[in-house]
Amino acid sequence: MQGSPFDQRVRVLLELKGEASDRTLLEEELTRLDWRIERVYEGARAADRVWLLCEARIAGARWGAARAVVRLVEELAHRAQLRVRARVAERIDRDADEPVHWAVYQEAAAGSWRERTAARLTRRDTGRVVTADTRGQALDVARAHLPGSSHPVDGLGVRRPMWAKEPTAGVARASRAESLRQQVRMVGAVLTLMFAGAWAGSTWPSPAIAFPALLAVGALAVITAQTRVLARGWWSNMGRAQAGALVIAAVPFALGLRAGLAQSSQASWNYLLIAVVTVVANGLRLLVRQWTWRHWLPWVLPLLLPLAIPLLPSLGGGLHLSYLDSFGLNADDVDVTAFWQLAAALKLIAYTSVSLVVPAVWGYCRHFHLLHTDRTMYGVMAFSALVASVLAALIVAIEEPREAAHRAQQAARELRAPAPYFGIEPTLVCVHPVKELSKVPVEGGELRPDLPYLLLGSSGGTSVLWDRAPGQPEPIKVPTSTLRIVPLPKGEPNCRPAATRR
């Protein structure tokens, strides 16, 4: 873990009981953990006791960071067989205030409204940016002469960005971490309002409307509580900030409500799917950023992609095989383009990705210091991911294609157009031999030109037809060159020669 990134700094006082060799071993373990020893206190009464004041650096949230360090010390003591305990642990709060940036511009001789507008539109900027708490400090820094710089020092002015408010002297500013947390809460509340609106629109006027109403009230409370963020930015006082909060809350709720009313229940599920994907992706990010070999990913992934991409179409072949097996066919009986094989593979991967929920939850647990031992979790995660992947693959690769095939068969029996399935486009057709019927080679059954067939596709110059009659489930294979295949006329149950058709 030497040099690994960290999020929290915790000062901890360790008490070690043992000999000089124990102290040496403890210092080696602390170095391996990238913990810095700040001070050592020798025991005045007990010769075999020493106290070490250390700074622990760990990744994860600030909540529970001190408790996580105490547990890490306990694990260290168990692993290295040392009699060491964490007597005191306290998180170090060194988060700085959010910096205030100013852009430097060249003031005009005549301060007309056009010149002021040009200054606000960055047209008179000199390119220098300074950081200062007040306008006076910013002007002093802007006029500073740097060695080797040709920047002017006279006639300068400073301005804040158009969307930012000038800080007020004597008013405490939020730290950068607190501002980021407020922004995250705002974004989460907006997404919650969109989901609540979609749910409300899809369930209106059902009693289930109470659930999205509670979500909307909770999200509105979060946004209203964050109005101090708006008061520091676009709006100059809390009253205007609260009005802006209502607008920010109303717009996403109205968008979600409109989508819910237009698309019924599908809209709420779409928003829920987006939320789940976002939460899972963030959990995986939190997990990866704590891996010791995360630095290898940018180098290993480009090497694995050329090997993985050619294998993707073969994964999609399982869906086509299960679909065609319901018609009594093999995967080689119908040609499917590589594009649709890739699309089927992506669908299979999407369904099997449900197993990613397990490592995502693990990432959140690691980030919030809920898990500190990896040996048991490795087994639980691997087993859960394997079970979820296998179940999802079986459901998708076997049940879902078979259900799609059964729907296509039922549609064919009812003379309705069946839906395509990843490049396989079943079509109701009429077949007319180009020569005598007795000379047409047929495999699998009897060819009757007066009956419509379901054309599933072709392979190697052989067309595959499926008889929609309940007693004839076996497919028929006929050379394409011996047939003239035309779509079944709409509204006609049978195929007739063109001369006798009215």
Q: What's the total number of domains in the chain?
A: 5
Phi, psi of 184 (to 5 degrees): -65, -40
**Rounded distance, CA 317 to CA 422, Å?**
10
Using an 8 Å Cβ cutoff, are 92 and 36 in contact?
no
Instruction: Note whether 329 and 398 are same-domain residues.
Output: yes
Phi, psi of 267 (to 5 degrees): -65, -45
| Structural domain boundaries, residue 235 | 176-285
Report the run of H or E that residue 185 belongs to, with start and end. helix 176-203
Instruction: Note whether 234 and 210 are same-domain residues.
Output: yes
**DSSP letter at 374?**
-
409 occurs within a structural domain: no
Using an 8 Å Cβ cutoff, are 237 and 168 in contact?
no
**pLDDT per position in the chain (502 positions), as tens?**
445 678 888 999 999 988 888 889 998 989 888 888 888 887 655 567 888 999 998 888 888 888 889 988 988 888 888 999 999 999 887 666 667 888 888 776 656 666 666 666 667 777 788 888 788 888 888 888 777 777 777 778 888 876 666 666 655 556 666 666 777 777 777 777 777 777 677 666 665 666 666 666 666 666 666 665 555 544 445 555 566 666 666 777 777 766 666 655 555 566 667 777 888 888 888 888 877 666 666 666 666 666 666 676 777 788 888 899 888 888 888 999 888 888 888 887 777 777 788 888 888 888 888 876 555 666 677 677 777 777 777 777 778 889 999 999 898 888 888 999 988 999 999 988 888 888 888 888 788 888 888 999 988 889 999 887 766 567 889 998 888 889 888 878 788 765 444 4
User: Among 232, 256, 285, where does a domain finish?
Assistant: 285
165 occurs within a structural domain: no
Assign 430 to helix, strand or coil: strand
Instruction: Note whether 185 and 279 are same-domain residues.
Output: yes
Instruction: Note whether 304 and 399 are same-domain residues.
Output: yes
Instruction: Note whether 390 and 435 are same-domain residues.
Output: no
pTM for the whole structure: 0.63
Using an 8 Å Cβ cutoff, are 208 and 189 in contact?
no
419 occurs within a structural domain: no
309 occurs within a structural domain: yes
Instruction: Note whether 58 and 110 are same-domain residues.
Output: no
493 occurs within a structural domain: no
Question: Residue 52 is part of a domain; what is its CATH number?
Answer: 3.30.70.260
26 occurs within a structural domain: yes
Using an 8 Å Cβ cutoff, are 450 and 494 in contact?
yes
The string of DSSP codes covering 259-322 is HHHHHTHHHHHHHHHHHHHHHHHHHHHHHHTT-TTGGGHHHHHHHHHHHHGGGHHHHHHHHHHH
Instruction: Note whether 279 and 298 are same-domain residues.
Output: no
421 occurs within a structural domain: no
Instruction: Note whether 269 and 326 are same-domain residues.
Output: no
The string of DSSP codes covering 473-501 is -SEEEEEGGGEEEEEPPTT-SS---TTT-
